[in-house]
Amino acid sequence: MTAAYDDILLAQVAALPALPGVYRYFDAQGNVLYVGKAKQLKKRVSSYFQKDHGGTRIGHMVSKIARLETTVVRSEAEALLLENNLIKSLSPRFNILFRDDKTYPYLKLTGNGTLFLKAVPSASGTPEPQTFPRVAYYRGSVEKKHRYFGPFPSAWAVKESIQLLQKVFRLRTCEDTVFANRTRPCLLFQIKRCSGPCVNLISPEAYADDVQHAERFLKGETQGLLQEMEARMMAHAERLAFEQAAEVRNQMTALSRVLHQQSVDTGTDTDVDILAVRVLGGRACVNLAMVRGGRHLGDRAYFPAHVEDAHALQGVEDDGQPPVAVEIQVLEAFMAQHYIGIPVPAALITSVAVDKVLVAALSQQAGYKIAAVHNPREQRRVWLEMSEKNADIKLARLLAEEGSQQARTRALADALDLAPDDLDVLHIECFDISHTAGENTQASCVVFRQHKMQSSEYRRYNIEGITPGDDYAAMRQVLMRRYGKLAEALRTQDGSGEGTARLPDLVLIDGGKGQVSMAREVFTDLGLDLSRIVGVEKGEGRKVGLEELVFADGREKVYLGKDSAALMLVAQIRDEAHRFAITGMRAQRAKVRMGGSKIEEIPGIGPRKRAKLLQRFGGVRGVESASVEDLLGVEGISRELAETIYNALH
């Protein structure tokens, strides 16, 4: 930064108000460096510029600050919520960042609990789907017209809960379109996992009772439910209705077995999140365990980025207060970022004490009081100890895997005489060709950098205009498309001395001499460095571990040895390219066979909605035979869009 620019920045800092708010630092390219909150903006931001931080992490960040932005808010709690909303959306370089996972899965009961009680049988006597609610796995935004239970930590936890409901309460799981077209009971009825409502083998009233019992089970009201079921069994027995009494007895037996097998809290805490944090070797792990309806459903580990950078900046922000332990800092960052847009249970159990302001902010956001306890007793203590142990195990596994992967990267760099300034930036791209008897040819490109596969940078290329089955022509086409513009940018860059265009350090080709020769021709035409091209040639009998490396610049073949760490990394990257190409080719083939393109051409139908339609109705023919009302049952399909689909297919 120039001195004049420093003066402008310092003038901005001097003009800040002594009010709570959020500040953002930007570098000269407009990238966000850091997002922070403050009780007093002026005091906090000024602390960054009042002394020379030297070559520390703080000094490194401050030296990059080109401008700042601030937002004044009404309270520290409001500042905290805004800060973490911005952190999630902007991904600053020096904040603790947790990956924004997909939405959590839920267990869904169709209907809102009142519609099916009012429903009446159709004139033909055929049971209506809405009369008998369906239990299903669900991921997405919740709707008021249905009932949702969760969130669950994984799809496995939801599916296990559905299996429990099938065993105990025998609720249906079939789609409405399947339900409406049944003429005899399905296999689930035969194995006593469904009560057969589709063919009138259970009355709506009896099915409604099962649904209500299932709801109570999911809410954790297990003891009351067992007492009520026992009273019903005795009432049936007194009326000499022994078959009905036996049915209730069997339900109670199944439910008792489930409760015995599960870790269930019969106290007041039916929905609890248990959060344990561990920090070691510059990495951190937050293990989140979920208890829903009194049942422990499993856990999930989260590994944040930028822990050391963010902790170093804390020294500036302490304002004379005792430093906050890094474990507390990580856990508070997780809670603030994770619970944005996610339902928060009223009880949180934490391995370390967290700031009361954070808990108050979460309560304000949720609309009800949230309690955070870090020294629990009895069953909750068992849950916390279990979560802490899982955090230890998962962090140790991560460190071991990262160490192993870095060792593989180093071994490959040494074996091929690659000499990047920093192994973290070693950039490898790998190509593979896939087709079905010459049809639906696709090329894949996968990227390896920072010691791991970068799936967000993967690319697929549809290969056209070649002789079917000509893998050499396909390889030529994909390499020209991948590196043609890059070569042009490099030539422009060489002339000006500026720019950021950069070739990968290594280009792996899944193939032997023929494929490498084609890659050499392309790189020669583009004026690129041939030493970067390496082919992975399969060994005798195509056995794993016998691969040889073929070079485009004339070097002799190299056999690294089946136990070589470098060969393990090459095989890992090659196999990922093959997997990515195969999945793309299969999807393309399925699209052609199923006629999915016919649906995709309808305005408003993208890949996701097309997939949901095909899944719901079993293919294009099923979609074509569906009515507008049937189409409305698919998530994301409005009435207007349903009518558009119906008209387009008819």
Q: Is residue 515 part of a domain?
A: yes
Q: Are residues 277 and 228 in the same domain?
A: no
- Summarize pLDDT for 174-204 with one digit per residue, the tens: 988 888 888 888 899 988 889 899 988 888 8
Task: Kindly state whether residue 404 falls inside one of the protein's structural domains.
Answer: no
CA distances from 299 to 167, 347, 565 (A): 24, 16, 32
Note whether residue 401 is domain-resident. no
Report the sign of the C-alpha dihedral through residues 111, 113, 114, 117, in that order: positive
pTM > 0.85 = no
DSSP characters for 311-380? HHHHHHHTTTSPPPPHHHHHHHHHHHHHTTTS---SEEEESS---HHHHHHHHHHHTS--EEESS--HHH
The domain tally of the chain equals 5
Residues 375 and 427 in one domain: no
Residue 56: is its pLDDT beyond 60?
yes
The whole-number average pLDDT for the span 607-631 is 79
Residues 498 and 518 in one domain: yes
3-class SS of residue 503:
coil
Note whether residue 625 is domain-resident: yes
pLDDT, residue 110, reads 87
- 385: confidence class by pLDDT, cuts 50, 70, 90: very high
pLDDT reported for residue 124: 52
Last residue of a domain, one of 562, 590, 618: 590
**Could you tell me if 586 and 602 lie in one domain?**
no
CATH of the domain at 565: 3.30.420.340
Residue 183 forms part of a structural domain: yes
Q: Is residue 157 part of a domain?
A: yes
Looking at residue 624, what is its pLDDT?
81
Please tell me whether residues 118 and 237 are part of one structural domain. yes
Token digits for 48? 């960054």
Does residue 211 sit in the same domain as residue 157?
A: yes
Least confident of 107-116, 185-194, 395-404, 420-429: 107-116
**pLDDT higher for 514 or 321?**
514
Domain C-terminal end among 46, 61, 90: 90
Q: Do 462 and 555 fall within a single domain?
A: yes
**What pLDDT does 605 receive?**
81
**SS3 per-residue string spanning 422-490:** CHHHCCEEEEEEEEECCEEEEEEEEEEECCEECHHHCEEEECCCCCCCCHHHHHHHHHHHHHHHHHHHH
Provide the β-strand partners of residue 300: 288
Helices 155-168 and 204-218 pack at an angle, to 10 degrees, of 140
Whether the CB-CB separation of 34 and 25 falls below 8 Å is answered with yes
Containing structural domain, residue 610: 595-649
Same domain, 515 and 539: yes
How large is the average pLDDT for residues 570-593? 78
Integer angstrom CA distances of residue 302 from 34, 276, 423, 448, 486:
21, 10, 25, 22, 36
Same domain, 20 and 72: yes
| Statement: residue 268 has pLDDT above 80 | no
pLDDT tens readout for residues 209-253: 888 888 887 777 766 677 777 777 888 788 787 877 887 777 777
Query: Which residue has better confidence, 102 or 491?
Result: 491
**Residues 202 and 247 reside in one and the same domain:** yes
Work out the average pLDDT over 111-133: 63
Residue by residue, DSSP assigns 146-215 as: SEEE---SSHHHHHHHHHHHHHHT----S-HHHHHT-SS--HHHHTTS---GGGTSS-HHHHHHHHHHHH
In the predicted structure, residue 317 carries a pLDDT above the cut 70: no
Q: What CATH number is attached to the domain comprising 41?
A: 3.40.1440.10
| Burial class of residue 374 (count of CB atoms within 10 Å of its CB; 0-12, 13-18, 19+) | middle
Q: How many CB atoms lie within 10 A of CB 314?
A: 14
Q: What is the pLDDT of residues 134-155, one digit of tens each?
A: 998 888 777 778 888 877 777 8
Q: Is 414 a member of any domain?
A: no
Rounded-to-integer distance, Cα 638 and Cα 616, Å: 16
Residue that is last in its domain, among 543, 565, 590: 590
Q: Where residue 263 falls among pLDDT bands split at 50, 70, 90?
A: very low
**pLDDT value at 497 more than 50:** no
Average pLDDT over residues 43-64: 77
Is the model's pLDDT at 597 over the cut of 80?
no
Residue 445 confidence (pLDDT): 93
Cα–Cα nearest to 77, from 314, 276, 310, 366? 366
pLDDT band for 399, please (50, 70, 90 cuts).
Answer: confident
Q: How confident is the model at residue 118 (pLDDT cuts 50, 70, 90)?
A: very low
Bigger pLDDT: 580 vs 496: 580
Quickly state the pLDDT bin for 103 (edges 50, 70, 90): low
| Domain annotation covers residue 99 | no
Q: Work out the pLDDT band at 544, boundaries 50, 70, 90.
A: low
CATH code, domain with 599: 1.10.150.20
Residues 476 and 552 in one domain: yes
Mean pLDDT (the chain) is 81
Least-confidence region, from 200-204, 560-564, 636-640 = 560-564
Confidence of residue 22 (pLDDT cuts 50, 70, 90): very high
Look at residue 262 and tell me whether its pLDDT is greater than 50. Answer: no
pLDDT at 610 (0 to 100): 80
| Same-domain check for residues 255 and 276 | no
Confidence class for position 117, pLDDT limits 50, 70, 90: very low
